[in-house]
Amino acid sequence: MYNVAILAYNNIAIFELSCAIEIFALPRPEYTDWYQTEVISFDSQPIKATGGVSLYAKCTDDLQQYDMLIIPSWDINNNHVRLDMAEKISHFAESGKRIISFCSGSFLLAQLGLLQNKRATTHWRYAEIFKLRFPKVEFVDDVLYTQDSNISCSAGSAAGLDLGIEIVRQDFGHKIANQVARRLVISPHRSGGQSQYIETPLVKQNGAFSETLDWAIENINKPLTVDTLASQANMSRRSFDRHFKKALGISPKAWLNQQRVNLAKQLLETENLTVEQLAQKIGYDNGITFRFNFNKYVGVAPSRYQAQFSINK
């Protein structure tokens, strides 16, 4: 069980706050263990949020009772951080506990020096301002979220939901993360490296293209290639590559690998297979290629992932 604090302060963006509450504070009695979450403040007075809404949060001066701190947003024009808040958040980070920022929340972490030499991101609208103000941060452009050591940052508001689902997946496994995503009516998995801004995220103009993606997911256990997908969509390879990149923001090859890795996660959580058996089940020629791609997209070896998330432990 994880004790979670969601930080609230004057002029907080209410949508980002609501996203954090929806994922981490909504009661979920169907699960034996779940996050125990409180919205907290360093001020005993009511908090004003966007739209003139007033909120009451639990006033506390002790962050160490929590395991994870969520910063839903921050005023990018606010260069002043009250001393008690700065000290307590810094101490929280230095103790190795997890901190998650949504959207502009990374500005607060950067102001406190907690992102120095770390990978971080924010909404694309604030990217240039962020890079100018915090040159010692390893800023990552045009991604949904970053995770570096104990600190994670998401881009825009909706990307906060993607990061939240990823945190749920890391804490409770693929199955529960999918259930939470389904309840939110959002995609169960958008990888952190996916583009923030895509001009045509849903391709409705070309039914064959959309149907090809569905067909690929259904047949992801077969040794599919990008040429196979292009042929299925009745397109030339060049046209398919261009259309795919414009629609989804990533290359067809990267997308195929992501789908295979997603399936591998499910199998690692539910079945006891050798690496070679697993590779064959998800459409790879051999275990070496599978290991390489799993490490690339998940950040850990398949064996380590299984040790952490398998329901057969």
Cα–Cα nearest to 16, from 99, 109, 83, 101: 101
**pLDDT tops 50 at residue 199:** no
pLDDT score for 299: 79
* 67 and 212 belong to one structural domain: no
pLDDT score for 193: 52
Confirm whether 223 is domain-assigned: yes
Confirm whether 142 is domain-assigned: yes
CA–centroid distance for 200 within its chain? 21
pTM: 0.67
Q: What is the CATH number of the domain that holds 68?
A: 3.40.50.880
Mean pLDDT on 130-141: 94
Domain that holds residue 267: 199-313
Q: Which amino acid is at 286?
A: N
Cα–Cα nearest to 73, from 157, 150, 159: 157
* 227 and 100 belong to one structural domain: no
Confirm whether 191 is domain-assigned: no
pLDDT score for 138: 95
pLDDT band at 34 (very low <50, low <70, confident <90, very high): very high
CA dist 118 to 7, 138, 144, 218, Å? Answer: 22, 5, 16, 38
* 179 and 254 belong to one structural domain: no
Confirm whether 189 is domain-assigned: no
pLDDT band at 197 (very low <50, low <70, confident <90, very high): very low
* 15 and 162 belong to one structural domain: yes
* 211 and 167 belong to one structural domain: no
* 176 and 37 belong to one structural domain: yes
* 106 and 39 belong to one structural domain: yes
Q: What is the CATH number of the domain that holds 217?
A: 1.10.10.60
* 255 and 281 belong to one structural domain: yes
Question: Per the structure, how many domains does the chain have?
Answer: 2
Least confident of 27-31, 58-62, 201-205: 201-205
* 38 and 177 belong to one structural domain: yes
| Three-class SS state of 217 | helix
| Three-class SS state of 13 | coil
Residue the block writes with tokens 């149907």:
211
pLDDT in tens, 163-191: 999 899 889 887 888 888 877 766 555 55
pLDDT in tens, 10-25: 889 999 999 999 999 9
